[in-house]
Copies of this chain bind each other. A is one copy, B any other.
Amino acid sequence: MIGRPKIYLAGPEVFLADAKAISGRKKELCADHGFEGLFPLDNDAPQTDASRDLTIYRANVAMIRQADCGIFNLTPFRGPHADVGTVFELGLLTGFGKPAFGYSNESQSLLERMKRDGQAAFDKATQQWLDASGMAIEDFGNADNLMIDACLAGQGHALVRNRSSEADPFTTLEGFVRCLELARQHFAASHSGRSPAYAR
């Protein structure tokens, strides 16, 4: 690794009208912590490209390859779970053998949130909580699907849960800053920038 470690900045804030402002704040915070932030929207794909989605995909994958680690905004998005684009990228970066850090601007577990929102019913026959489609809701106390939580916890830094104000669930950055601190500790401990395989 030459220069400051690079962090891929993943999250659903790419869909916000002021995404560029948030990416700017995240990159400043990265610099404050000794990192360089890489934000997907910095890949300016030509608007006229007929296969613009594939162009963006390949630019994002190239950026994840270039990164030394990633920080993932796993705040629930359009339902009880994290944004699938962000989660795909978490899997990809993990498959590339790079460390991942993640946060959610919700403090409750998946099951607690689904109960709170009237999306969970207890089934006496199977002694499980089920969703509206009769499918089991995981009951590990995790923030989301176990593949997400265990990916992070298995690396020694569990998903950071930090309840935001209702008004601002996608832009609050306390959890992001906590991930930057975890990343700083990680790189201070490892020096190499590539610890042993994370996808164990």
Tell me the A residues contacting B by CB distance below 8 Å. 12, 15-17, 52-54, 56-58, 60-61, 65, 77-85, 87-96, 119, 126, 131, 133-138, 140, 142, 144-151, 153-154, 169-170, 199-200
Contacts and interface: CB of A to CB of B under 8 A. Distances in A.
A89 B88 CA distance: 8
B150 A57 contact: yes
Contact of A91 (B58, B94, B126, B134): B94
A81 B12 CA distance: 13
Nearest to A114: B78
A60 B95 CA distance: 13
A131 B131 CA distance: 23
A195 to B, nearest CB: 16
Contact of A133 (B126, B147, B170): B170
Contact of A149 (B53, B83, B142, B170): B53
B135 A12 contact: yes
